[in-house]
Amino acid sequence: MAPKSASEEALTHVLDDVFVLSRDNGLRQALQRGGFKKIQSVLAMSNTILTSLTYRGKDANNRPADIPILASEEGLINALKGYAAYTEAQLGRPLTPDDWLALTEESFDAYQGSSHLIFFDPSRPAAGLPPTVSATLQTTVGQVAQEVQAFKKGIKRDQSLFPIYKEEKDWDDWQRRTRAQATAQNVENVLDPSYTPVLPQDKELFNEQNKYMMAVFNSCVQTDFGKTLVRKFEGTHDAQGLFTELERHANLVAHYRR
């Protein structure tokens, strides 16, 4: 077995020594089942994916079933995101695996009981930060509007230039051409599962990019599983979450074809 990377060690430390989860804990199993091995992938997880996490267990009738994680376990993940946003704002840099390995259960508990988490909104990472730090992250409504308008009036975008995805066997070629076209049309962040906007204008811009790519996927994704995902995500416009699940499914299919 290959040795764990630093980011994998960091996630193991958080689960074992900060969250203090048992080996058979549902959240631990759900993260493993979802393929979340690194601390960064957990922090980048969208709320849609978080709320859909399940692990294999038994229902009330003692039959095998997919069991959703507890609300308190969702809260732990959101608290972890809040801790990261708060600490990175204080340090002025991203947290490293060594930073995570130095985190203790006591320090995390102290953050959970503080006003910084009470006022933290996962959809607005700047919320709940110290006033001096929060002020540096905020922009005016006018600035946000300018960013969105610049996107809408900027590079010429044409949904018809994106390739059609009809057969799962064509995934590699389709995703490569789709990424290339997304980059050309300045919406490549939607196809990056690790991208999480922080500043208000980035969040609003990313929301518009997601809406655009949802329209693209609605037209171009024509596999049976893909159509199911389009219906699943059409109400949230979470094109990033859709593409992440589509890619995970394609990789799983490819694995079983070998």
- DSSP letter for each residue of 100-133: HHT--HHHHHHHHTSHHHHT-BTTBTTTTS-HHH
Q: 105 and 147 in contact (C-beta within 8 Å)?
A: no
Whether 203 maps to a domain, the answer reads yes
Q: Of 120-124, 192-196, 201-205, 242-246, which gets the smallest average pLDDT?
A: 120-124
Q: Average pLDDT for residues 189-211, to the nearest whole number? A: 87
pLDDT at 133 over 70: no
Based on the fold, state whether residues 42 and 131 are members of the same structural domain. Answer: yes
Based on the fold, state whether residues 118 and 153 are members of the same structural domain. Answer: no
Angle, vertex CA 173, rays to CA 170 and CA 179, nearest 5: 125
Backbone angles phi, psi at 165, to 5 degrees: -110, 100
Rounded distance between C-alpha atoms, residue 220 and residue 229, angstroms: 12
Q: What is the pLDDT of residue 198?
A: 77
Based on the fold, state whether residues 125 and 147 are members of the same structural domain. Answer: no
**Count of domains forming the chain:** 2
Q: What is the pLDDT of residue 112?
A: 84
Based on the fold, state whether residues 72 and 87 are members of the same structural domain. Answer: yes
pLDDT at 203 over 90: no
Higher pLDDT among residues 201 and 142, named by residue: 201
Based on the fold, state whether residues 132 and 150 are members of the same structural domain. Answer: no
Chosen domain end from 75, 105, 137: 137
The first and second tokens of residue 255, run together, are 């694995």
Based on the fold, state whether residues 101 and 145 are members of the same structural domain. Answer: no
Query: Which residue range(s) make up the domain with 146?
Result: 141-257
Give per-residue pLDDT as tens, 90-123.
Answer: 888 889 999 999 999 999 998 888 776 655 656 5
Chain CA centroid to CA 209, Å? 15
At residue 53 the predicted structure's pLDDT band, cuts being 50, 70 and 90, is: very high
The first and second tokens of residue 212, run together, are 């655009």
At residue 137 the predicted structure's pLDDT band, cuts being 50, 70 and 90, is: very low
Q: What is the pLDDT of residue 118?
A: 58
Q: What is the pTM of this model?
A: 0.50
